[in-house]
Structure 1
Amino acid sequence: MNVLDRLFAERAASVRSGLSTADAPEPGGMADLEGTAGPGGAMDLGGAAGPAGTAGPDGAVGPGQVTVMVVMRRLDLGDLVHGALEFTAGLSPEEADIWYRNWTRTRFLLGNPHNLLGSPAVRTVGPGGHLAWLGPVDVARPPGPSRLLKPVTGRLPELPPSVHLPGERRGAPCEIRIACRGLTTAGYLIHLHHTLAEAVLLGKIDPRTPVRLVHVPDLDDESALSSAYARVHYGADGALRLYTFLA
Structure 2
Amino acid sequence: MRPTDADVLASAARARLGAVRAGLAGDGPSAPRELTAVVVVDAIDPAAFVAGAASFALALEPGERAGWYRAFTRTVFLAGRPGSVAGRHPHRRLAPGGGLAWYGPATRRELSALSRMLRTFQGPFPVDVPSGPLAVRVPGRASGHRVEMTVATGGVRSDAYLVHVHHLVAEAVLRGLVRPGDAVRVRHRDVLDPADFRAALAPGRAATVQTRVSHDGTDHDRLRLYGVLISNRDRGGH
Equivalent residue in structure 2 for 1:188, among 161, 171, 182: 161
Query: Is there any run of 5+ residues in structure 1 with no aligned partner, and where?
Result: 27-63
TM-score calculated relative to the size of structure 2: 0.80
1:229 CA drift (Å): 1.5
| Equivalent residue for 2:193, pick from 207, 211, 220 | 220
Does 1:165 find its partner at 2:136? yes
**Percent pairwise identity:** 33
- In structure 2, how many angstroms separate the alpha carbons of the residues matched to 1:158 and 1:75? 9
Distance in structure 2 (CA, Å) of the matches to 1:144 and 1:150: 12
Q: Which of 70, 76, 80 is the equivalent residue of 2:39? A: 70
Give secondary structure in 2 for the equivalent of 1:159: coil
Task: Summarize the Cα distance change of 1:14–1:209 in structure 2 as closer, same or farther, 3 Å threshold.
Answer: same
Q: 2:233: which partner in 1?
A: none
Q: 1:206 to 1:231 in 2, by over 3 A?
A: same
Which residue of structure 2 lines up, in the alignment, with residue 39 of structure 1?
none
> Where do 5+ consecutive residues of structure 2 fail to align?
231-238
The one-letter amino acid paired with 2:128 is P
Cα RMSD between the aligned structures? 2.1
Which protein has the bigger helix share? 2
Matched with 2:235 is none
Report the AA paired with residue 76 of structure 2. R
Q: How many residues of Structure 1 are paired with residues of Structure 2 in the alignment?
A: 210
Partner of 1:244: 227
1:89 is aligned, of 36, 40, 58, to: 58
Moved over 6 A (4+): none
206-215 vs 195-204, greater mean Cα deviation: 206-215
Map Cα deviations across residues 21-52 of structure 1 (whole Å, 9 max, x no partner).
411478xxxxxxxxxxxxxxxxxxxxxxxxxx
Q: Deviations over 1:175-220 (max 9, x none)?
A: 2001111100011111111111000000111132121110111123
Shift of residue 76, structure 1, vs aligned partner: 1.3
Give the TM-score taking structure 1 as reference length. Answer: 0.78
| Per-residue deviation, residues 87-123 of structure 1 (Å, max 9, x unmatched) | 1001111101110111100011111111233456621
Map residues 48-59 of structure 1 onto 2, 5 A cutoff.
none
Partner of 2:73, secondary structure, is coil
